[in-house]
Copies of this chain bind each other. A is one copy, B any other.
Amino acid sequence: MIQDHNYAPIAVTVDLAIFTVRSGLLQILLIERAEEPFARYWALPGGFVKTEESVANAARRELCEETGLKNLDLHLEQLATYGNPNRDPRMRVISVAHVALIPDLPLPIAGGDAVSARFWPVDELRLNPKTDKEAIPLAFDHTQIVTDAIERVRSKLEYTTLATAFVGEPFSLSEVRRVYEAVWGKAPDLANFRRKLLSTQDFVVPAGGASTSGSKGGRPAALYRRGSAKRLHPPILRSESDND
């Protein structure tokens, strides 16, 4: 029965939505495809799951390949699986999409099977509303995947400590706040935000010392490192109108 024609095997890929915060904007890494189908379209990086490899490991492997980062402390989580029969015109493929968050690092991004690769500010893609005539067309069903991935990141900042995954250690509280501003498009109130982070056990831990002031002056900021807390109780909610 397993080899019944109704149950033919299906190719399995992982796709990666790799986000960073750069220049005050939430950005996502896309590659420009070299080959058909969707040649010259922008797409999520990804690849096939190998026969003896777990889906999670395939995602981790692709993440290292795409970013050149060997550090395994990058945040990587499964998003969802996309399995419409015609999402790839060549053959039946289902894709297990993942979301990764990385600090703003200069990345030696090598093309591989792509013409080029770069980070795109998510707003420039004009994915929302879906009817936007200016929207950048993405390959396959990647517009849907990117839309879902952005919403995942936005909502995860509400009830987890993941914002710190976007900054390098040590960091100031203002840097973390700028992450929220970039991801949500609106900065949480400064005073309330600081109180929330500092009153949540193990969200951040003091690293000692202070940052040097910028060239334009300003008081040096106290520095922190990521704490062990993973969740926020209660969450920091976006104002209701900003949600889907």
The closest CB in chain B to the CB of A11 belongs to B9
- In the assembled complex, the CB of A92 is this many whole angstroms from the nearest CB of chain B, namely 6
The number of residues on chain A lying at the interface, defined by a beta carbon within 8 Å of a beta carbon of chain B, is 37
Whether a CB of chain B sits under 8 angstroms from the CB of A233 is yes
* Contact B81–A96 (Cβ < 8 Å): yes
Of A37-45, A53-61, A206-214, A220-228, which stretch is located at the interface? A53-61
**Complex Cα gap A7–B82 (Å):** 19
For residue A9, which residues in chain B have a CB less than 8 angstroms away from its CB?
A: 8-12
Task: Name which residue of chain B comes closest to A83, CB basis.
Answer: B55
User: How far apart are A2's CB and chain B's nearest CB, in angstroms?
Assistant: 7
> Min CB distance, A7 to chain B, in Å?
4
Contact of A48 among B7, B80, B81 (CB under 8 A): B7
Q: Of B2, B12, B85, which one neighbours A53 at CB under 8 angstroms? A: B85
- Closest Cβ of chain B: how far from A10's Cβ, in Å? 5
Measured between alpha carbons, how far is A91 from B8 in the docked complex, in Å?
13
Q: Which residues of B contact A80 (CB under 8 A)?
A: 78, 80
Q: Which residues of the other chain, B, contact A54 by a CB distance below 8 angstroms?
A: 83-85
Query: Which of A12, A55, A81, A231 has the largest number of chain B CB atoms within 10 A?
Result: A81
List 10 A-B residue pairs with CB atoms under 8 Å apart, sorted by A's residue number: A8-B51, A9-B9, A10-B10, A10-B11, A12-B83, A54-B83, A54-B85, A80-B80, A83-B96, A94-B96
Binding site for B on A (CB under 8 A): 2, 5-12, 48-56, 78, 80-85, 90-92, 94, 96, 231, 233-235, 237, 240, 243
Q: Which 8 A-B pairs have the closest CB atoms?
A: A55-B83, A9-B9, A7-B48, A81-B81, A233-B240, A8-B51, A54-B84, A10-B12
